[in-house]
């Protein structure tokens, strides 16, 4: 995915929240899972209930290894009778295949043959409507045609805003991109890249693999592993299901309560301003989102770490996504976050706040 299409990402970021941004999200891994046991295979692999998903429904879900530690996260779309598409950030063909032993199911890697474009922002629907797309509820998908090219449109995205993803054969992706840009011109559409998306996804409180968590397959030591409960994804774990990978470990963890939690952090402006004022500077804010581990303290002791953060030009707040140890993950807990001011490490006041930081009604309306 491109970092940005312009020299800086600023305009690209602002159109996500004011007009519409078009992203090429084709680098996602995509698998077509079909056959009599397709639903059962996916139901076994992910903790959400796939069997109950209606045709046209899309589920966001993490999935775990047998120890209940998160391997990856992505979506499962119920495309049609016994047909699903799974998207992921990491390759999962082998994982799906190994778990399909004895099942009547066909797993096809369509990462290269299916392209995906993501149209996000308050004007996204107006653009699609002008192209004759059908109305869609949040996390639903339907077949459509754009300039007579067959596509599937899902009301999904990674910005926490009104937005859609358009799925089509790779060969059709360029004409569809052109059609969207052309139709979107009247609505202020712009192509956008990862730098803009990174700020938007932090505002939306959405975690990023390899940045906010280490997938279980890449963990070198056990302390790098995370469960869905520790990533604030407890809502995806459906323990009423009789069987799915990691169930026993997750049931046990739920009973015990997670020791870590993935939360939103907001820095206190006055505290930040004071740290800069002490050295005679005006407050400096990051222009792009950062991705690194930053210590968080409570009462002088390190109680967690932020993994990504930055300034939200929309909310006018300094935000971060962070992992905190019990009991410091409770909302409202006062903390301190390390911040480097003029080459010196300082601590700015911060607090645990509700995420998503930004959650407009238009997202689901």
Partner 1 sequence: MKTYDVIIAGGGHNGLACAAYLARAGRKVLVLERRERVGGAAMSEEVFPGFRFSVFSYVVSLLRPEIIRELELARHGLQILPLESTLTPLLDGPMSGSYLAQWSDHDQNRRELARHSPRDAEAYDEFGLLLHRMARAVKPLLSTAPPDPASRDPRQLLDLLSLGRYFRGLPERDLHALWKLLTMSAADYLDEWFDSEALKGTKSASGIIGTLLGPRSPGTAYVLLHHYMGELDGVFRAWGFARGGNGSVSAAIAAAAQAHGAEIRTQAPVSKILLAGERAVGVVLEGGEELRAPVIVSGADPRRTFLGLVGEAHLPDEFVGAIKRYKFRGASAKVNLALGELPRFTCMPQPGPHLRGAVSISPSVDYLERAYDDAKYGEISRRPYMDIVMPSMLDPSMAPPGKHVMSIFVQYAPYHLNGGWNDARREQLGDTVIDTLAQYAPNLKGAILHRQVITPADIERIVGLAEGNIFQGELTLQQMFFLRPAPAWSRYRTPVHGLFQCGSGTHPGGGVMGASGRNAAMAILGARA
Site residues (CB under 8 A) for partner 1? 91-95, 97, 109, 217-218, 220, 222
CB of 93 to partner 1, least distance (A): 5
Distance CA 194, CA 112 (A): 20
CB of 331 to partner 1, least distance (A): 35
Cis geometry, peptide bond prior to residue 115 (ω within 30 degrees of 0): no
Q: If residue 198 lies in a helix (H) or strand (E), which one and from where to where?
A: helix 194-203
Using the minimum distance from each CB to partner 1, give the nearer residue, 126 or 194: 194
Q: Is residue 211 classed exposed, middle or buried when 0-12, 13-18 and 19+ CB atoms within 10 A define those classes?
A: middle
Using the minimum distance from each CB to partner 1, give the nearer residue, 7 or 220: 220
Token pair of 73, please? 């996260």
Q: Is residue 45 classed exposed, middle or buried when 0-12, 13-18 and 19+ CB atoms within 10 A define those classes?
A: buried
Using the minimum distance from each CB to partner 1, give the nearer residue, 13 or 95: 95
Distance CA 110, CA 93 (A): 10
Q: Do residues 216 and 71 make contact, with C-beta atoms less than 8 angstroms apart?
A: yes
Using the minimum distance from each CB to partner 1, give the nearer residue, 18 or 170: 170
Distance CA 225, CA 318 (A): 27
Q: How many CB atoms lie within 10 A of CB 300?
A: 8
Any residues with CB less than 8 A from the CB of 308 and at least 6 apart, and which?
198, 202, 208, 211, 212, 289, 290, 291, 320, 321
Using the minimum distance from each CB to partner 1, give the nearer residue, 95 or 276: 95
Using the minimum distance from each CB to partner 1, give the nearer residue, 80 or 97: 97
Token pair of 32, please? 């077509």
Using the minimum distance from each CB to partner 1, give the nearer residue, 55 or 93: 93
Using the minimum distance from each CB to partner 1, give the nearer residue, 67 or 126: 67
CB of 133 to partner 1, least distance (A): 33
Token pair of 150, please? 């067959």
Starting at the earlier edge strand, list the strands of the sheet with 29-34: 58-64, 70-80, 83-88, 29-34, 106-109
CB of 255 to partner 1, least distance (A): 24
Token pair of 279, please? 């050295």
CB of 28 to partner 1, least distance (A): 13
Using the minimum distance from each CB to partner 1, give the nearer residue, 67 or 142: 67
Q: Do residues 44 and 242 make contact, with C-beta atoms less than 8 angstroms apart?
A: no
CB of 70 to partner 1, least distance (A): 16
CB of 114 to partner 1, least distance (A): 15
Torsion sign over Cα 232, 235, 241, 242: positive
């Amino acid at each position: 995915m491109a970092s940005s299409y312009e020299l800086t990402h600023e305009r690209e970021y602002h159109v996500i929240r004011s007009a519409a941004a078009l992203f090429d999200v084709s680098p996602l891994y995509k698998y077509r899972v079909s056959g009599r046991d397709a639903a059962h295979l996916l139901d076994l692999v992910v903790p959400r209930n796939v069997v109950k998903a209606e045709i046209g429904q899309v589920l966001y879900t993490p999935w775990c290894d047998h120890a209940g530690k998160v391997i990856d996260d992505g979506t499962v779309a119920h495309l049609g009778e016994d047909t699903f598409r799974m998207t992921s950030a990491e390759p999962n063909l082998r994982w799906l295949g190994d778990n399909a032993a004895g099942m009547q199911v066909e797993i096809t890697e369509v990462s290269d043959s299916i392209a995906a474009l993501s149209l996000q922002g308050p004007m996204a629907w107006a653009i699609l409507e002008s192209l004759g797309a059908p109305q869609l509820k949040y996390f639903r998908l339907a077949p459509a045609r754009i300039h007579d090219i067959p596509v599937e449109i899902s009301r999904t995205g990674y910005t926490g805003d009104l937005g859609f993803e358009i799925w089509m054969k790779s060969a059709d992706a360029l004409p569809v991109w052109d059609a969207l840009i052309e139709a979107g011109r009247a609505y202020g559409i712009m192509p956008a890249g990862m730098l803009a998306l990174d700020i938007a996804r932090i505002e939306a409180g959405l975690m990023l693999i390899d940045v906010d968590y280490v997938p279980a397959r890449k963990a070198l030591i056990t302390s790098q592993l995370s469960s869905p409960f520790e990533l604030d994804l407890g809502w995806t774990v459906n323990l009423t299901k009789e069987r799915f990978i990691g169930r026993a470990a997750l049931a046990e963890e739920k009973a015990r309560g997670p020791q870590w939690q993935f939360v939103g952090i907001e820095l206190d402006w006055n505290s930040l301003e004071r740290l800069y004022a002490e050295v005679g500077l005006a407050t400096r804010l990051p222009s792009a989102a950062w991705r690194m581990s930053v210590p968080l303290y409570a009462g002088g002791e390190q109680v967690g770490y932020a993994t990504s953060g930055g300034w939200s030009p929309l909310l006018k707040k300094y935000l971060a996504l962070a992992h905190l140890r019990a009991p410091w993950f409770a909302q409202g807990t006062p903390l301190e976050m390390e911040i480097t001011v003029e080459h010196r490490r300082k601590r700015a006041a911060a607090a645990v706040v509700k995420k998503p930081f930004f959650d407009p009604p238009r997202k689901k309306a």
